[in-house]
Structures are given as structure tokens and as C-alpha cells.
Structure 1
Amino acid sequence: MGRQKTYEFVRIKDKMIEEDILIVIANIREVIKDSNTGNVNVLSRHSHSAEYPLNNIPLDIQVLEAVEPTEISPQEFDQLTKLYKNDINSFLLYTP
């Protein structure tokens, strides 16, 4: 019955040992599903990626956990996008 919109937060943390780096990707996205066609459209509103050498990862980054796509409310979506615009480190530390 029309389109359904959800908001998601995802954070990926991946060690690339052979390249000696830790990659952190944080992403906020809108997911729109059209129930008539079954099509899913993903819009990334904000994303941030960072790389750190494995022998020098800041403590606040070490304690991050990877987060699967997590549905968040429109209010959390707005809060997170504002936080990201002002403070990338806080954005990476946000837990939905």
C-alpha cells in the first residue's frame, strides 16, 4: 500500500591486517520501500569513513562495535545528522 520509509544507522568496523589499517564507516540512511513494486531505494544522508594504523588506534575508536543496520526513529535520525554535522568523532561513537 504505497511507500514505507524507515531510517537506519549502520557502522562497519573492519581490520585489514595485510594493509595494517582499521577502517570505520558510519552511515545514516533513509530506506524507502514501495510495497506495490517491492523496490527498495536506499538514500545515504550522511556517511563518514576513517582509517587508522593498527598500531596506533585511538582508544575511543578501539572500543567501537560494528552495528548492523539498525532502525531509528525520525527524531534519532535528525539528532544523529545534526551531531554528525558538528562532530564526526561523536558521530562515530553514537550508539542507536
Structure 2
Amino acid sequence: MIIDREYALVDTTARLNTDLRDFEREINRAASVTFGNDLTDVFVYQFSFIIRVRTDSEKIKHGLLVNLGKNIARQVSSLCASAMRVYPNEKHKPSRQLFHCIN
């Protein structure tokens, strides 16, 4: 089964001021490292990107999606500085989020 998932930056201001096509190489590299041979395609648009992944189940494993975000964040620190959302947490370290699924 092939699954498509579309992702956009969480921060709306950053989404409007950032062209993800400028980071196409890094997004492609991060997706390739994360999904390996299961990755069938990546489409990068101005405001979002779509990953197409081959999987045996009806969902892409959450851990893989988290790793995709981490891999992108490692490669584009400038994007993280302007677009990362931080959610405070009293009992743990703050949560950080760069992208969210829009489909």
C-alpha cells in the first residue's frame, strides 16, 4: 500500500514567509534517510511537502514521522530558528514541533 502525507510548517507566520522549495534538497535527503527503500516520492511545494511511502499497514509509523522531522531539523537550523513551535511542559522538557500533517 502506498500512503501520501502532506506536511506544512506549524507556525503560520513562518509558513507565509518561507518557501519550502528552498529546502527541497534537505527534505528529500531527510525523507530518504528516514524511509529508505519504502520512500517512493517526495513533492515539495511553496507552503507544504508530500511524502509518498510504501507500507504494509494503513498508517506510517509515528516514530518514523518523528524521525523525519528530526532529520529535517538537523539539516536546516535556519528554518528551525524561525519556524519551530515550542510547547512548555511542567514535568518534561518542552516539546518542539516544526511540521504538522494537513491531510
Q: TM-score, normalised by structure 2?
A: 0.25
- Say which one has the larger Rg: 1
Q: TM-score, normalised by structure 1?
A: 0.26
